[in-house]
């Protein structure tokens, strides 16, 4: 798959895809890509280096449907940099644990964020 200029992947997070939201502010959003490992426990990164330009981006958003129906995802840790979680972001997963303890900038969750979990 050829990615657009604003999308990138890293070897450090092989199951995630990042999209630049604002190149001046160096912010990006994250979503799942690929095949999840069994019993997946994921700590989302607060920052990530774009291998295409060498710049560090702050991960501020989780996209709509980001992890929808990723049945192997059992635990996720949301970093303090996240300010927005998209609709249906975790719908249909097997999440047993979500750690929001560092997510102090997150003030609202969409009503369908965790539907059918």
pTM (2 d.p.)? 0.91
Where in the sequence is the domain holding 74, given as residue range(s)?
A: 7-99
Distance CA(63)–CA(55), nearest Å, equals 21
- Looking at residue 1, what is its pLDDT? 39
38-92, pLDDT tens digit by residue? 899 999 999 999 999 999 999 999 999 999 999 999 999 999 999 999 999 999 9
Domain of 18, CATH number, reads: 3.80.10.10
Residue 104 lies in a domain: no
What percentage of the chain has pLDDT greater than the value 90? 85
> How many domains does one find in the chain?
1
Query: Which class for 30: exposed (0-12), middle (13-18), buried (19 or more C-beta within 10 A)?
Result: buried
Residue 13 lies in a domain: yes
Cβ of 35: how many Cβ atoms within 10 Å? 10
Residue 71 lies in a domain: yes
Q: For the chain, where are the E strands, in sequence order? A: 7-8, 16-22, 27-32, 40-43, 47-49, 56-62, 73-77, 84-85, 97-99
**Closest by Cα among 108, 2, 4 to 62:** 108
């Amino acid at each position: 798959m050829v990615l657009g200029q604003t999308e990138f992947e890293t070897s450090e997070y092989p199951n995630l895809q990042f999209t630049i939201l604002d190149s001046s502010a160096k912010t990006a959003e994250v979503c799942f890509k690929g095949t999840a490992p069994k019993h997946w426990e994921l700590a989302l990164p607060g920052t990530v280096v774009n291998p295409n330009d060498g710049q560090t981006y702050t991960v501020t958003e989780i996209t709509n449907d980001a992890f929808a129906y990723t049945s192997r995802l059992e635990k996720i840790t949301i970093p303090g940099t996240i300010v927005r979680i998209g609709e249906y972001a975790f719908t249909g997963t097997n999440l047993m644990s979500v750690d929001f303890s560092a997510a102090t900038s997150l003030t609202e969750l969409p009503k369908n964020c965790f539907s059918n979990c």
